Amino acid sequence: MHILSGLDNLFLSQDKANQHMHVAGLGIYDQSTAKGGSVRFKSILEFFTSHLNDLPIFRRRLVHPPLGIDRPYWVEIDDLDVEYHVRHLGLPHPGDWRQLMIQIARIHSRPLDKTKPLWEAYIIEGLDNIPNIKEGSFALYIKCHHAMVDGQMGAQVLQAFHSLTADFEPTMI
**Catalytic positions:** 146
Tell me the pairing of strands 86-90 and 119-125. parallel
Residue 37's DSSP bridge partners are none
Q: Which residues contact 8 (CB under 8 A, 6 or more apart)?
A: 146, 147, 148, 150
> Is 101 in contact with 138 (CB distance < 8 Å)?
no
For residues 126 and 95, is the Cβ–Cβ distance under 8 A? yes
User: What is d(CA 60, CA 116) in angstroms, rounded to the nearest whole number?
Assistant: 8
CA distances from 96 to 5, 141, 165 (A): 41, 16, 28
The alpha carbons of the chain give a radius of gyration, in whole angstroms, of 17
Q: Which amino acid, one-letter code, is at 96?
A: D
Count of beta carbons in the 10 Å neighbourhood of residue 39: 20
